[in-house]
Each structure stands twice: as structure tokens, then as C-alpha cells.
């Protein structure tokens, strides 16, 4: 009973951590706000690329640090860096400032990526509840999205009253996360007699590298990692063009209350909240999708549909017009955002089921390293295209790639999509 109570408390604390990591207060209009202050799409692309570069350099070392010193310590450093970054957005006006803030976020992301999943999976495994990972991770993601949706609406109203108010609220929420992370229980292997987290001295650099080579060396697993990395890279680039695409649609979809038009940023916040709420519904059912289709089939389907959805805003504008094009654009945005949100818990569970507890954060960070490498060309090329043409063209460009990759893997009749047992294909540990 004590173990069950402790696990329940740990999961509730984890849910709280996921909720406060949301920054919906500024999400709907951050890029528009920055561009209004002289920041260009190229600046944003450079910043995103710098963030990816930091992740490339820091992913594996940060995962190793999390495995050696404790996942909670890694998460505490990560959340502190996130809070610093969120608190800095209101003061960004130059290329140097943009890149600096993105670098901070890159470091925060590096210390978070592998350690978050490793902490949760091992906490469940210690209680013989590892099979609940997808359920709990997807529920945490859904709760985060619900909080994001709520704060997006609030942020839109706050922005109309005082543009800096939502930035202050986002910073306060992020800093509260530092205290919540500090209250997370340590994984069993890091509980020492003299310290709260004793460290894992058995994991040396040579063993860590061996674990990474073995984990990434499985042929079928490499394919899944590559497909998801391409999709996540395209989603990262798409985030820079999403707000301008939506803003260009707003004049045709202006909302009113009692005949009075709502301010643009209030409408924008409500639209983003709607997108996010729909994603929350879908993410909360990620485990059911995985059970129904299987992990690999579900991932390929989500990547293909998500990539295709990125083409719709451009095609809809060229072929249609007015309210029909606006409806197509908003539906497409909901589509690829939802696919991206549902991919993450399914992919995470798929990887965790095949990773060893010792070095789990290191191997998961190695996967994030692959994603960071793939993300760089998407950001650089997409940013140039958006400045030279339109954000809708750039969105379509980055969407073609994951669509083609998903179709290519499916058509190639690889064992992972041709009906061969997943256990025989992958469980070669």
C-alpha cells in the first residue's frame, strides 16, 4: 500500500510538473510580437538553428549527466534554464538577443529530453507498472495541453490590456516549476544514504558509448528513429510560420461578441486554445491508438498525415479563397499539430521499452541528438524560403519531406510494416 501511495504521489507531482512547463500565455503571438519589434524570420531561423546546435552538442553529455548524477537534478537545471529563457522574451529586440535566448532554451531542452522520460519510466518500473507508461505520459501531455489552452485564452486578453502582462505570467508559471521539480522523488538507483541522489558510478563514459552504439545500431529501430526525427524537425520549422499563416487568415474570420469585433490577439489566443484543446483530446487517447494499430503503424500514419496537412494552407489558398480557404487552413493546423502531439508519447514508449535502465537517459538523449541534427536544415532552409516567398510556401516545403519519408518506408515493404513480429524484428537486446 505504501508503494502504491508513493507511486500515486510521484505521478501526481509529475503531472503538476508537466502542467507548469506550459507557456501558453505567450504562445499564440510570440513570433508576431518579436517580428513587430524588428526581429526577422531569418533571425528566428538562426535562433532555432543555434538551439538545435546546442542540443546537438549537449544532448548526449546532458543525458550522461542525468544518468550519473540523477534525473531529478538534470530536470531541476533544465526547468531553471527554461524559466530564465521565458523571462527574457519580453526584452528581445536584436539578432544577438534572439540567438542568446534560443541557446538557453537549447541547453534546457538538452537536460530535459532524456531525463524526463527516463525518470518516469524507471519510477513506474520500480513499482512494476512500466506497462502504464504510455497511458501516464499521454495523460501528462494532455494535461499540459489543457493548461496551455487555458493560458492561451488568458494571454490573448492580457496582451490587449498590457503587452508585457502575459510574459510576466508565463515567467511566474515557469519559475513555480522549479519548486515542483525539486519535490519529485529520486529514482531508486540514485537514493543514497548520505545524499538524496547518490549517483550511478557504474556508468562510465566507455559503457555509455557502448549502450548508445547498441541502441542505435538496430536496423529496424534506426528506421523508426529517422522517420520521427524528420517529422519533429519539420514541426519545429513549422512553428515559426504558424502564427503568420493564422494571422493572414484572421481578417476573413474576425470574431465578434454582441456585434463588437474582438481584438486580433484575443481571437488568436482563442484559436490557439481551440487547436490545443483538440490536441489534448487526441493525445489522451494515444495509448488506445498504439494498442489498436501497433506502435510502428501508428507512427507512420501520424507522420504521413501530419506532413500532408502542412501542404493544405498553400494549396487551399491557391485553389479556393475566402472562408473555404480559411477553414482548410485552420483544419490543417489542427491536423499537423495534433499528429505531432500524439507521436511523442507513442515514440517515447516505443524507445523506453527497448532501452536498459542503466544509461536510459543517455540513450534517449542520443535519439534526441539525432533529432537535433535533422532539425537544423529544416530551420535554415525554411527560414530563407519564408523570407523570400511566404510562410505558407515554407510550411508546405517542410511538410513534403515527412510525407515522402513515411510513404517511402511504407511502400518499401520493410519488415516493420509488412507484418513481421515486432518482437522478432526489434527485441534483440
Q: Is the pLDDT of residue 317 over 80?
A: no
Cell of 169: 505570467
Lowest mean pLDDT among 32-36, 240-244, 326-330: 240-244
Q: How far apart are CA 376 and CA 369, in angstroms?
A: 11
Q: Which of 202, 208, 172 is nearest to 189 (CA)?
A: 202
Q: What angle do CA 225, 231, 234 make, to 5 degrees?
A: 140
Domain annotation covers residue 192: no
pLDDT at residue number 192? 57
Report, as an integer, the average pLDDT of 59-68: 72
Q: How far apart are CA 295 and CA 287, in angstroms?
A: 9
Distances (CA, A) of 269 to 155, 156, 376: 7, 5, 29
pLDDT at residue number 81? 93
Domain annotation covers residue 194: no
CATH number for the domain including 312? 1.20.1250.20
- Please tell me the total number of residues recorded for the chain in this structure: 429
Q: What is the pTM of this model?
A: 0.71
Report, as an integer, the average pLDDT of 82-88: 91
Domain annotation covers residue 358: yes
pLDDT at residue number 339? 92
Lowest mean pLDDT among 75-79, 85-89, 105-109: 105-109
pLDDT tens, 378-403?
A: 878 887 888 888 888 888 898 999 99
pLDDT tens, 138-180?
A: 888 888 888 888 888 888 788 878 888 888 999 999 999 999 9
Mean pLDDT across the chain, nearest whole number?
A: 79
pLDDT at residue number 318? 76
- Model confidence at 281, pLDDT cuts 50, 70, 90, reads confident
Q: How far apart are CA 385 and CA 287, in angstroms?
A: 37
pLDDT at residue number 262? 56
What percentage of the chain has pLDDT greater than the value 70? 83
pLDDT at residue number 2? 40
Quick one: DSSP state of residue 195? S
| Bridge partners, residue 128, by sequence | none
Report, as an integer, the average pLDDT of 15-44: 82
Contacts of 117 (CB under 8 A, 6+ apart): 137, 348, 351, 352, 360, 361, 364
pLDDT tens, 204-258?
A: 667 667 777 777 777 778 888 999 999 998 988 887 777 677 767 655 545 555 4
| Bridge partners, residue 260, by sequence | 257
Q: 499564440: which residue's cell?
A: 28
**Number of domain units in the chain:** 1
Of the two residues 182 and 67, the one the predictor is more confident about is 182
By the 8 A CB rule, do 76 and 190 touch?
Answer: no
Report, as an integer, the average pLDDT of 62-81: 82
Q: How far apart are CA 44 and CA 384, in angstroms?
A: 10
- Model confidence at 280, pLDDT cuts 50, 70, 90, reads confident
Domain annotation covers residue 198: no
Q: Is the pLDDT of residue 353 over 60?
A: yes
Domain annotation covers residue 191: no
Phi, psi of 261 (to 5 degrees): -70, 140
Q: Is the pLDDT of residue 417 over 80?
A: no
Q: Is 59 helix (H, G, I), strand (E, B) or coil?
A: helix
Q: How far apart are CA 43 and CA 231, in angstroms?
A: 23
Cell of 245: 499563416
Report, as an integer, the average pLDDT of 84-89: 91
- Model confidence at 279, pLDDT cuts 50, 70, 90, reads confident
The range of the structural domain enclosing residue 421 comes to 2-185+205-426
What percentage of the chain has pLDDT greater than the value 90? 15
What HEC string does 80-133 produce? HHHHHHHHHHHHCCCHHHHHHHHHHHHHHHHHHHHHHHHHHHHHHHHCCCHHHH
Q: How far apart are CA 174 and CA 267, in angstroms?
A: 25
pLDDT at residue number 302? 94
Amino acid at each position: 500500500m505504501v508503494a502504491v501511495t508513493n507511486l500515486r504521489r510521484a505521478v501526481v507531482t509529475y503531472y503538476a510538473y508537466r502542467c507548469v512547463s506550459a507557456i501558453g500565455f505567450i504562445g499564440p503571438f510570440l513570433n508576431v510580437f518579436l517580428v513587430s519589434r524588428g526581429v526577422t524570420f531569418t533571425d528566428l531561423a538562426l535562433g532555432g538553428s543555434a538551439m538545435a546546435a546546442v542540443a546537438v552538442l549537449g544532448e548526449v553529455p546532458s543525458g550522461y549527466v542525468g544518468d550519473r548524477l540523477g534525473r531529478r537534478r538534470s530536470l531541476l537545471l533544465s526547468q531553471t534554464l527554461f524559466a530564465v529563457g521565458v523571462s527574457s522574451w519580453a526584452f528581445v529586440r536584436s539578432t544577438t538577443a534572439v540567438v542568446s535566448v534560443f541557446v538557453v532554451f537549447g541547453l534546457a531542452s538538452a537536460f530535459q529530453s532524456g531525463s524526463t522520460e527516463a525518470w518516469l519510466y524507471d519510477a513506474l518500473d520500480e513499482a512494476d507498472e512500466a506497462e502504464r507508461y504510455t497511458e501516464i505520459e499521454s495523460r501528462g501531455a494532455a494535461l499540459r495541453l489543457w493548461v496551455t489552452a487555458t493560458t492561451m485564452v488568458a494571454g490573448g486578453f492580457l496582451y490587449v490590456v498590457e503587452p508585457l502582462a502575459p510574459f510576466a505570467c508565463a515567467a511566474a508559471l515557469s519559475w513555480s516549476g522549479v519548486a515542483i521539480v525539486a519535490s519529485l522523488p529520486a529514482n531508486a538507483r540514485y537514493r543514497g544514504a548520505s545524499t538524496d541522489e547518490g549517483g550511478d558510478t557504474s556508468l562510465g563514459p566507455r559503457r555509455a558509448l557502448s549502450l548508445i552504439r547498441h541502441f542505435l545500431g538496430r536496423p529496424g529501430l534506426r528506421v523508426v528513429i529517422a522517420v520521427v526525427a524528420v517529422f519533429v524537425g519539420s514541426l519545429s520549422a513549422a512553428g515559426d510560420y504558424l502564427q503568420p499563416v493564422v494571422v493572414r487568415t484572421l481578417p476573413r474570420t474576425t470574431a465578434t461578441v454582441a456585434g463588437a469585433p474582438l481584438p486580433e490577439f484575443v481571437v488568436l489566443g482563442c484559436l490557439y486554445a481551440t487547436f490545443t484543446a483538440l490536441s489534448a483530446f487526441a493525445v489522451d487517447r494515444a495509448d488506445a491508438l498504439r494498442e489498436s494499430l501497433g506502435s510502428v503503424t501508428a507512427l507512420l500514419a501520424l507522420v504521413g498525415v501530419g506532413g500532408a496537412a502542412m501542404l493544405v494552407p498553400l494549396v487551399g489558398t491557391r485553389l479556393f479563397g475566402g472562408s473555404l480557404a480559411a477553414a482548410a487552413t485552420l483544419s490543417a493546423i489542427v491536423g499537423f499539430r495534433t499528429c505531432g502531439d500524439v507521436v511523442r508519447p507513442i515514440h517515447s514508449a516505443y524507445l523506453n521499452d527497448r532501452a536498459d535502465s542503466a544509461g536510459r537517459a543517455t540513450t534517449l538523449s542520443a535519439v534526441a541528438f539525432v533529432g537535433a541534427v535533422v532539425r537544423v536544415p529544416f530551420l535554415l532552409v525554411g527560414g530563407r524560403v519564408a523570407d523570400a516567398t511566404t510562410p505558407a510556401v515554407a510550411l508546405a516545403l517542410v511538410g513534403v519531406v515527412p510525407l515522402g519519408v513515411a510513404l517511402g518506408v511504407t511502400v518499401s515493404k520493410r519488415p516493420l510494416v509488412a507484418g513481421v513480429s515486432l518482437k522478432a524484428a526489434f527485441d534483440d537486446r
